[in-house]
Homo-oligomer: A and B are copies of this chain.
Amino acid sequence: MTVRSDEGMWLLNDPPREQLKTKYGFELTDAWLERAMKASVRFNSGGSGGFVSAEGLIVTNHHIAADAIQKLSKPGLDLYREGFLAKTRADELPCPDLELNVLQSIKDVTARVNAEVKPEQSPAEAAAARRAVMGEIEKESLAKTGLRSDVVTLYQGGAYHLYRYKKYFDVRLVFAPEASAAGFGGDVDNFEYPRHGLDVAFFRAYENGAPAKPSHFFRWSKTGPVENDLVFVTGHPGTTNRLETLAKLLHRRDVTLPYTLSRLRSLEAAIGQYAEHGPEERRQAATDLHRVANARKAFSGQLQGLLDPSIIAAKDLQERKLLDTTMVERNVFPTAPSPRNFWSTIETIQTTYRGFEREHALLETGHAFFSELFTIARHTVRLAEELPKPSAQRLREYRDSNLESLKLQLYSPAPLAPALERVKLQTSLTFLAETLGGGHPIVVKVLAGKNPAARAQELVAGTTLFDVAERKNLVEGGKTAVDASKDAMVLLAKAIDAEAREFRKRFEEQVEEPERQAYAEIAKIRFKSFGRSVAPDATFTLRLAFGTVRGYEVDGAKLPFHTTLGGAFEKSEALANREPFDLPKRWRDGKTKLDLATPYNFASTADTIGGNSGSPVLNRAGELVGINFDRNRHGLVRNFVYTEVQARHVSVHCRAVLETLAKLYAADAIVTELTGAN
């Protein structure tokens, strides 16, 4: 057997035992796996984390915590920029709308889901049947276990698994460093290596008003990894596209990605300019700006990947090989449908999709209305429509098992800045008009006789949805209240709801469902050839990855496997401590207290993607040796292909956290809690 690469974001119910044994001589035990599952945490705001004490302490990235930190800030109190440390447990700050999920079990329900989809059904019927049975499974599970229950689509439709999570709604901020320490190097260093970032934050989960007692947690390593160590990453990779067909990838390259990049750049320019107005605007815009810039850089890397002819050629070859194998086999069973059909079906679907993809994204996904207020308004309008229906027949986000999470967001008391909402809305309304043209009926309807700037102003001035009580009134008042509402944002959401739903329907019936059916067949072919040795694409569910701690070479220069705290000072000083390479005063003043040789960030080959931010990085003993926070730019093509030639994920070293907590932040209580030291 040849030594395989470290590729794979593995399912916890189908772990890579063989590979680990063969390549690393490591025995993956059930106990190890159970701890990995039950100590790993999903941040529903879009990241990962892990329990690191018996008293509910959780570590994640600062940039994953940013949304919560921002919502705990207000004019004159900028916790994002200034950082935060709870002196005592009583000082820990309850987050207004943060939900954490911890996976408890996984069950394969593929047979039950597929049994409801019959060959004689139209795509519309099949989509409805599938949605219904998934809803039923979730509802039954919720009733039976009380756990959050999600049916997850794997292998693009090749398998369906039921994931059950314990939920935490009472989550409190314990520690966050200054943004300039966490995000040292800003957009410049994002997706680069070597790095020097303290991209960590600590929360504590509470239950019934007391610190949670998780069944499992990761012990904090005092030494951390050295070069060539085997490490594991347990986190929630968001999306990969490795099992998509070439036709789908070319569609992404030529249609979806250019649209997405154009959209992100328009937001980045507008929000960036807003932030320049002064410190308060900057505070308000910080997380939006980081999110948009980060996405722009990630998608730019994806586009470079798909524009690389060698990657396209490799995909093409892979596909033709799989097809060849199958065609040979088919000669033995010539009555089966030609496997080539499944690929050409997906190709045809892209042509269909191209005809309304932008309208679907703008109206239904909501790219035309990049505004919290609009999102809230739409939920009030749709809840009034959906709640009277049986759960299984609703739009999927309004199913019973999701309502608690939805309402946490909807009724969040986090303040919204009117001026920022206006800028975001103006920018996205303008993007709508740019994309479809000023004379398009949808644009004319949305703009209602004004230009985007005036329309955004009118909408933000004409809504009362800043007030949580108003939101509750509308939701609790149901259809009557919504129909009677004169709120400008609600009126807009109502005005375009029929069109938006129509695009969603077309998407589900003409794209999603036929793609699932074709991919399910392709998955069968792949399973036949490779068994389960290919992991499914990422789905923002818990996965296990593994790799080797290792530096790499670029243009002849050898980059070390880790950087040091001293390196951060060197870089900052060489660049005159100027943004984005400025270190906080606390760091500059405290430099002499630090052991500057302490390892700071390190690189490994394990297979990660966006969503893995904040993932625990573990050693063989299952101790936490780092917190994953980024990939380098060579890793940006991982959406499509895995490589370990130069691609690395980057983590904060466990020792750097202890060193800075103790010597710069006087956070001795956390250090003690992590290390059990006295």
**Chain A: residues with CB nearer than 8 A to chain B?**
186-188, 250, 253-254, 257-258, 261-262, 265-266, 268-269, 272-273, 276-279, 296, 300, 303-309, 312, 430, 433-435, 437-439, 447, 449-454, 574-576, 578-581
Contact = CB atoms under 8 A, between A and B. Distances in A.
A276 B430 contact: no
B307 A447 contact: yes
Nearest to A264: B269
A43 B71 CA distance: 50
Given A265-B269, A268-B269, A578-B279, A258 B453 contact: no
A187 B276 contact: yes
Nearest to A188: B276
A451 B304 contact: yes
Contacts of A261: 266, 434
Nearest to A435: B258
A574 B309 CA distance: 53
A269 B296 contact: yes
A309 B450 contact: yes
Contact of A451 (B308, B433, B437, B576): B308
A304 B453 contact: yes
Which of A254, A269, A279, A454 has the largest number of chain B CB atoms within 10 A? A269
Which of A250, A265, A433, A447 has the largest number of chain B CB atoms within 10 A? A265
5 contacts: A254-B437, A261-B434, A272-B272, A278-B575, A303-B430
A285 to B, nearest CB: 13
Which of A186, A272, A279, A433 has the largest number of chain B CB atoms within 10 A? A433
The oligomer's copy count stands at 2
A454 B311 CA distance: 13
A253 B305 contact: no
Given A277-B188, A438-B253, A430 B304 contact: yes
B273 A451 contact: no
A129 B628 CA distance: 68
Contacts of A187: 273, 276
A574 B258 CA distance: 41
Contact of A307 (B277, B438, B574, B580): B438
A265 B263 CA distance: 10
A574 B280 CA distance: 12
Contacts of A269: 265, 268-269, 296
Given A307-B430, A312-B438, 8 more contacts: A262-B265, A265-B266, A268-B269, A269-B269, A279-B575, A306-B438, A308-B454, A309-B449
A120 to B, nearest CB: 38
A307 B455 CA distance: 11
A258 B437 CA distance: 9
A352 to B, nearest CB: 17
A447 B574 CA distance: 36
A358 B574 CA distance: 43
A309 B430 CA distance: 14
Nearest to A575: B278
B254 A438 contact: yes
B273 A188 contact: yes
Nearest to A253: B438
Contacts of A278: 574-575, 578, 581
A278 B575 CA distance: 6
Contacts of A438: 250, 253-254, 306-307, 312
A434 B257 contact: yes
A55 to B, nearest CB: 40
A170 B254 CA distance: 49
Nearest to A186: B276
A250 B439 contact: yes
A301 to B, nearest CB: 9
Nearest to A258: B434
Q: Which 4 A-B pairs have the closest CB atoms?
A: A258-B434, A254-B437, A265-B265, A308-B451
Nearest to A259: B434
Given A261-B266, A269-B296, A451-B304, A580 B276 contact: yes
Contacts of A300: 430
A648 to B, nearest CB: 18
A260 B293 CA distance: 21
Contacts of A186: 276
A24 B306 CA distance: 64
Nearest to A426: B304
A450 B262 contact: no
Contacts of A437: 253-254
A214 B278 CA distance: 46
Contacts of A268: 265, 269
Contacts of A312: 438
A266 B264 CA distance: 10
A600 to B, nearest CB: 20
Given A576-B279, A578-B279, A451 B250 contact: no
A254 B576 CA distance: 45
Contacts of A253: 437-438
Contacts of A453: 304
Contacts of A250: 438-439
A544 to B, nearest CB: 31
